[in-house]
Structure 1
Amino acid sequence: MSKFDHIRPFYDTEVNEALHSVVQHPMMKALMSFTFPDTPEEVWAEQLKRTHSKRDFQANFIYHAIQMVLQKSSEGLTTSGFENLDPHTSYLYISNHRDIILDTSLLNVSLLEHKMIMTASAIGDNLVQKSFLHALSRLNRNFVVQRGLSPRELLQSSKLMSEYMCQLLTRENRSVWIAQREGRTKDGNDATQQGVLKMIAMASDEANLMDYFKKLRVVPVSISYEYDPTDALKMPQLMAKANDEVYVKEKNEDFNTLLSGIMGQKKRIHLHIGKPLNPADLDTIAVENDNANKQIQALAQLLDDAIIQGYKLWPTNYIAYDLLHDCTQFADKYTEKEKQLFERRLELRIDIDNKVMREGFLAMYANPVVNKMKYQDA
């Protein structure tokens, strides 16, 4: 047994057996009926049973599922920055995190279209409690991040994940996707958690920590949705924080958020691939900071700078900023109709008489504008 067995995706030798075990599952039937509405069940079922690799499963089934999601719940995906990548090189994509499933799925759809190496992607074990979802995630090349552990277990789990990511990137030429933080941002502020970078660095055998990050070929990724399909679902947690209360998730909340994120209206989506971090910038971090903690802090800032600058602002962001500050600073960035539609969304999704809720909802959309203004005129 490999020490990675309880967190890794299926090996290709295991894919066919796994597909046979789930082909008749109601959730697989629902997924395939959604993806191929005009195809008889026996046809897609037979094709699934003849699939023997994760890549074929992703390219022949999941790719089309994501295309259908885009068709039904968005006005399309645009991308930029893929010219920064080499098709034969693996990268560590560190991304801002807005949607549980789509952030990484849209990256992989785009990588497939650009004939580049797709990613193995981190997914929290809270999202794969059901056996079917666990199997589907392993077929889709996800590896499991264990949550809710004791400090000692967390340390062991983090070391294992760091070693696994290192093996993928440096020995298997497999790209890896990981979010810049644990959990999605709830307030629109995309900030890299230093703990994520410390976990990645655990497998380092380099005397100089930045030399290890050079080996991993880190690429910052920015994804932006014109409408956040889970914006209203984030309100209870923001309200609890505002009231200084401990937020307790409801049963099945993660699963419901996952479905809302996939099928909720997003309007336009943009995915930007930043340039791989410049080795010279990493050398500068090593020279200017005399200990590992300071280096990690500087690396987090470097990533934040790239992710925020690569983030595409939509009319909704500017509208929210103006509504929040009761001004017309960005009135040239949107139409009156776009403003009315956004205000209508606001009224339908939250109690607008609740000041804390209204400000929290608007800030979620407005904060990317605030953050970008620190670098340039938004």
Structure 2
Amino acid sequence: MSKYDSIRFFYDSEVNPILKQVVHHPILKAMMNYTFPDMTDEQWKAQLLRTHSIRDFQANFIYHALQQVIKNTSEGLSTSGFEKLQPNTPYLFISNHRDIILDTSLLNVCLLEKGLVMTASAIGDNLLKKQSLELIAKLNRNFIIKRGLPPRELLLSSKLVSEYIEKLLVHKNCSVWIAQREGRTKDGNDATHQGVLKMIAMADTQGNVLEYFKKLKIVPVSISYEYDPSDSLKIPRLLAQARNEAYIKAKNEDFVTILSGLIGQKKHIHIHVGDVLDAELDAIAAEFPQANKQIQAVAAAIDDQILQNYKLWPTNFVAYDIVHQTNTFAHLYTEKDKQLFKRRLEMQLMGENEHLKQQFLNMYSNPVVNRLKYGSIE
């Protein structure tokens, strides 16, 4: 696996030496003090230094950190669909993407609790500018997607990632999580980018992309937050897009967004895992002989599951009724729900213009618009 050294997560043999390297780092101290508020630094450090595998690090530290996040910043995490997954079986989870860290981390919480194979997770190198963050990410079984490369280097990098994903799934019995698109969905419209599927397919050596996808066991995942913890941080990019302007990130913006996602209020969270794409791939093969058309159809099949299984919350229905000036979904929320949402809108965008408020509302109302494409909502 040495050819993957530039992107891979740590081997278990590397875990303890890396933990010794980072055990005194302020970021790790802050994380552990949050995770184990009743422990002294000496206690958690001693436990950390007895850790020799990624699974132990995830189960004994990261899992408990996420339990604190759920407890302190939400009203609970619910799930559906996991009963369809088989133990000791790796899957390629392709998920909608709302939060940089939490989407995949919360999925792994569920997989661990249910005794299923946890994921290795793709993460952009733009999020790992600090070495300490990169080390912690690799300890948490994250592998790196390199961004901003020239075309030829991007092609080579994409092929390497594709081969690494296949190695993990087929030869290492490790599930993989990857977002359906580069970057988080900021307007509430979850859509699978064909480029992601084309990248995954680059490791196919038989020239039959649909059979290759079958081998990888693709499972669409829908994750929904009643309150997007970094909703207001997504508005500037949306505004720039509306003005047809280039958006330039502020210094440390990614780190601020990661932190906001962790500590921001989420209210309820739901994760649904869909069905393994199988019969759909056979149907696509029968209808579309051309590879490009097949990729388009696979993206559409993933979208169908993600959008139909996305959990809609009172916030979504309130936003839809405000945007469309109706009471269509008034029976699905209370007056208190509506007032709390409007208060959040005002607090997050205090003093901002109406266009920004509209963008904020669209972020929450678009999932309802997308669901209505599949029929009425009761």
Into which bin does the TM-score normalised by the smaller protein fall?
Answer: over 0.9
What per-residue deviation string (whole Å, max 9, x for no partner) do you get for residues 324-358 of structure 1?
11111110010001100000011111157622111
Output the CA distance in 2 between the equivalents of 1:262 and 1:237. 20
> Shift of the alpha carbon at 1:53?
0.1
Q: Do the aligned residues in 2 keep the contact of 1:233 with 1:257 (CA within 8 Å)? A: yes
Unaligned runs of 5+ in 2: none
Superposition map of 1:63-102 within 5 A: 63-102=63-102
Partner of 1:324: 323
Partner of 1:357: 356
Q: Do the aligned residues in 2 keep the contact of 1:73 with 1:263 (CA within 8 Å)? A: yes
**In structure 1, the residue corresponding to 2:210 is in which secondary structure?**
helix
Superposition map of 1:301-320 within 5 A: 301-320=300-319
Output the CA distance in 1 between the equivalents of 2:178 and 2:269. 19
Superposition map of 1:67-146 within 5 A: 67-146=67-146
Output the CA distance in 2 between the equivalents of 1:310 and 1:331. 21
Partner of 1:244: 244
Output the CA distance in 2 between the equivalents of 1:233 and 1:48. 34
Q: Which is worse superposed, 202-211 or 331-340?
A: 202-211
What per-residue deviation string (whole Å, max 9, x for no partner) do you get for residues 9-65 of structure 1?
000000000000000001111100000000011111011101000000000000000
The answer to whether 1:261 aligns with 2:261 is: yes
**In structure 2, the residue corresponding to 1:271 is in which secondary structure?**
strand
**In structure 1, the residue corresponding to 2:163 is in which secondary structure?**
helix
The answer to whether 1:285 aligns with 2:284 is: yes
> Shift of the alpha carbon at 1:244?
1.2
> Shift of the alpha carbon at 1:93?
0.2
Partner of 1:46: 46
Output the CA distance in 2 between the equivalents of 1:170 and 1:243. 45
Output the CA distance in 1 between the equivalents of 2:127 and 2:243. 27
Moved over 6 A (4+): none
**In structure 2, the residue corresponding to 1:270 is in which secondary structure?**
strand
**In structure 2, the residue corresponding to 1:3 is in which secondary structure?**
helix
Output the CA distance in 2 between the equivalents of 1:194 and 1:256. 29
Q: Give me the identity figure in percent.
A: 64
Give the partner amino acid of 1:258.
I
The answer to whether 1:343 aligns with 2:342 is: yes
> Shift of the alpha carbon at 1:287?
2.0
Output the CA distance in 2 between the equivalents of 1:282 and 1:325. 37
Q: Do the aligned residues in 2 keep the contact of 1:98 with 1:184 (CA within 8 Å)? A: yes
**In structure 1, the residue corresponding to 2:3 is in which secondary structure?**
coil
TM-score (ref. length: structure 1) = 0.98
**In structure 1, the residue corresponding to 2:143 is in which secondary structure?**
strand
Alignment CA distance shift 1:296-1:52 (3 Å): same
State the superposition RMSD in angstroms.
0.9
Q: Do the aligned residues in 2 keep the contact of 1:35 with 1:68 (CA within 8 Å)? A: yes
> Shift of the alpha carbon at 1:122?
0.2
Q: Which is worse superposed, 193-202 or 350-359?
A: 350-359
What per-residue deviation string (whole Å, max 9, x for no partner) do you get for residues 177-213 of structure 1?
0000000001000000000000000000123210000
Unaligned runs of 5+ in 1: none
> Shift of the alpha carbon at 1:108?
0.3
Output the CA distance in 2 between the equivalents of 1:310 and 1:55. 30
Number of aligned residue pairs = 377
Give the partner amino acid of 1:205.
T
The answer to whether 1:169 aligns with 2:169 is: yes
Output the CA distance in 2 between the equivalents of 1:363 and 1:6. 39
The answer to whether 1:207 aligns with 2:207 is: yes
What per-residue deviation string (whole Å, max 9, x for no partner) do you get for residues 155-197 of structure 1?
0000000000000001111100000000000100000000000
Give the partner amino acid of 1:247.
Y
Output the CA distance in 2 between the equivalents of 1:283 and 1:342. 44
